[in-house]
């Protein structure tokens, strides 16, 4: 069994680590496009072109995981049209689970500008969180800072504390880069908010797709 994992940068490695635990006998190949990271500040056309080119080494794998929220929201539909025989799994911000989990009705979504501006993200908000308050702090530099290992706890605190003060009790990590700082986000939240990211859900979806 061969599983391909693509992300613009190091976020895919966090997803691949979870998949390795879930499928220890699988051959998992991870590719990235760190030459052009981050994707979150690029135009939709740029994201589509870069993603289509970057995933080519993974074509023919049993399934390809697009472990990038920005690439999923902007490029996955075109990838499925170009490669109709290839199985793809994308990642979307966990708006539905967050809406089901929140008790305060206030959700904090940490995502790239491209994801927040995408049609799919706004569709998710409309479908599942129309009666909730969704706070979207400025995380535009997070992916670059994580890639460059310059992220600090104070920066994270400054970014998400206003949402916590407004009552957010669920924080959605809407970029796989942010998986690397999940522990810090949880520490900053101090149990005031649950922190959601989709790694385990991806593993379940891979298992389901491979069984089909």
Candidates 68, 108, 110, 139; catalytic one: 68
Which one of the listed residues 108, 110, 139, 175 is annotated catalytic?
Answer: 175
Longest pairwise C-alpha distance within the chain: 48
Nearest Cα neighbor of 7 from 46, 47, 60 is: 47
108 is catalytic: no
Distance CA 32, CA 6 (A): 6
Element (H, E) at 19: helix 11-22
203 prior amide bond cis, ω within 30: no
Paired tokens of 28: 């998992």
Query: Catalytic: 110?
Result: no
Return the percent helix, strand and coil in the chain, to nearest 5. 50, 15, 35
| Active site residues per annotation | 68, 175
């Amino acid at each position: 069994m061969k599983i391909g994992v693509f992300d613009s940068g190091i976020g895919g490695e966090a997803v691949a680590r979870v998949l390795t635990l879930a499928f220890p006998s699988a051959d998992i190949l991870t590719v990235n496009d760190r030459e052009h990271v981050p994707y979150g500040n690029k135009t939709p056309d740029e994201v589509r072109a870069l993603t289509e080119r970057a995933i080519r080494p993974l074509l023919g794998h049993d399934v390809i995981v697009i472990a990038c929220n920005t690439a999923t929201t902007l490029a996955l539909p075109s990838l499925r049209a170009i490669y109709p025989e290839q199985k793809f799994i994308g990642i979307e911000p966990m708006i539905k689970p967050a809406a089901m989990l929140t008790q305060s009705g206030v959700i904090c979504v940490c995502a790239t500008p491209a994801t927040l501006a995408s049609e799919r993200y706004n569709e998710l908000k409309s479908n599942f969180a129309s009666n909730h308050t969704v706070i979207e702090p400025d995380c535009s530099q997070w992916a670059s800072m994580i890639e460059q290992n310059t992220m600090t706890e104070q920066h994270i605190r400054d970014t998400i504390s206003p949402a916590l003060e407004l009552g957010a009790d669920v924080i959605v990590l809407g970029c796989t880069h942010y998986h690397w700082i999940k522990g810090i986000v949880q520490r900053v939240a101090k149990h005031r908010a649950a922190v959601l990211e989709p790694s385990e859900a991806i593993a379940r979806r891979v298992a389901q797709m491979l069984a089909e």
